[in-house]
Amino acid sequence: MIQRHQAAPRAAKLAALGIGVALLATACSGSSGTPSSSSSSSGSAAASGTISCPAPSASAGAGSASAAATVAPGDVPKSSTTSPTPLKLGSLLPQTGALAFLGPPEIAGVNLAVKQINEAGGVLGHPVEITHRDSGDTTTDIATQSVTNLLGQGVSAIIGAASSGVSKTVINQITGAGVVQFSPANTSPDFSTWNAHGLYWRTAPSDVLQGRVLGNYMASCGAQTLGMIVLNDAYGTGLRDNVQKAFEAAGGKVVDQELFNEGDSQFSSQVDKVVAAKPDAIAVISFDQAKQIIPLLTAKGVKPTQMFFVDGNTSDYSKDLKPGTLKGAQGTTPGTFAKDDFKKQLATVDSGLKDYNYAGESWDAVNLIALAAEEAKSTKGTDIAAHLQDVSEGGQKCYDFASCVTLLRQGKDIDYDGKSGPVSFAKNGDPQEAYIGIYQFDDNNKPQPVREEFGKLS
């Protein structure tokens, strides 16, 4: 049997991290700023064979974003500059492959932004044009073919890919052509130092933040030992490393970690080894392979409350698993919860939308590109990239294209904040601060919002 750590030293380590045993307090729905801290006594929970996480916030994911001054589309002043060509955008988002469930909300976010921008008169005198192409996953070369097609159409920017592994296969192709690559979902820390000529940007934070939140959250639930089942790619191993670092810094111990590769269809060996280590908690870092991994875990007696997931697999499993299979399991996803008003707006472009992961980040990506083009008075990729940081910080706060472009056309500096939360870029294209949402699965195996954690990466 694995030796248990004492609760008191663990609580001291969590407090020393500035997290507290109950982690950061929940942020107010849709608000920005650093949440206040709170504490609870859950450090000895794992020793009794159970996990007891901090109570959900009553307001998590509810209601609408805080009110802000807006400009009606018909009141937006016309641009004083008309570009020779319209702003042409491409999307490289998953319609097939292991991340296909992320495609609909991301594509809806893109389409909604384009729709609203064009209702406000477009960019530099023209409607924005959008072409969607499939990214597939790393088991195919669909992404390369799609990028070749988009570049051939003369796009200025490509929104995508969702998968960090896929982006690594095309980032040089895109940025080498002088085109902006703007991912709403890449979280690999590797992109923070990638030589992309200033043309790679993202609205999703590095997994340094998601890993920190998840690792500390599992510790706050009383878990003292951790097992991990991990996709062996840039996304999986990068997130694993940051989860492990945070969990161990909080006084926990990783007792086993098992890797699998994209395209694998058998996971019994990994599950058997992790379960044999008898961890208090198990983190599954995967994409849709979780559909096969979860039944194997439950068959071995692992309780759903011991299971923790990440953005690649925190999804609606109501059609894949028996009711109650995941009740009490939890997962993390970068970004704030989709608020009611945003869900209603998304329904105007996709009435069947059920998942909202990265919809806000995708909406923000399109708006930021459009605003940077307006400020640059150019639709050239390199010109747009040179203004992305400027429109994200230091000026007058605004929250949508119509309001922000009105300020720009009045000669004012802007500071865009969006649906994904505060957007403030570093020079390398990384967001410097972000929210991480924590979700808990209900009786129907659907993730429901529990709390939001705010953090800074700078």
> Tokens for 307?
């299971």
Q: Three-state SS for 85? A: coil
* pLDDT score, position 98: 85
Q: Using one digit for the tens of pLDDT, what is the confidence trace for 34-92?
A: 333 333 333 334 443 578 998 876 555 544 444 466 899 999 999 999 999 999 999 99
pLDDT at 278: 97
Residue 61, CA distances (Å) to 58, 242, 271, 314, 449 in order: 9, 26, 33, 15, 6
The residues pairing with 226 across neighbouring beta strands, listed in sequence order, are: 254, 281
By CB atoms closer than 10 A (0-12, 13-18, 19+), residue 458 is: exposed
Looking at the chain, the number of H-run helices and the number of E-run strands are 12, 14
Q: Which of 14, 362, 58 is nearest to 202 (CA)?
A: 362
- At 171 the pLDDT is 98
| Cα separations in angstroms, 38 against 14, 249, 386 | 12, 19, 41
pLDDT digits (tens, 9 = 90+) for 121-178: 999 999 999 999 999 999 999 999 999 999 999 999 999 999 999 999 999 999 999 9
Least Cα distance to 371 among 425, 434, 332 occurs for 425
Helix (H, G, I), strand (E, B) or coil at 403: helix
β-pair type (447-456, 129-134)? unpaired
The CA-based angle 224-227-229, given to 5 degrees, is: 155
* Residue segments in the chain with a per-residue pLDDT below the cut of 50: 1-48, 62-67
pLDDT of residue 226: 98
Domains of the chain, start order: 7-64+207-334+435-456 (3.40.50.2300), 76-205+339-425 (3.40.50.2300)
Alpha-carbon span 185 to 164, nearest angstrom: 8
What integer pLDDT is reported at residue 55 of this predicted model? 81
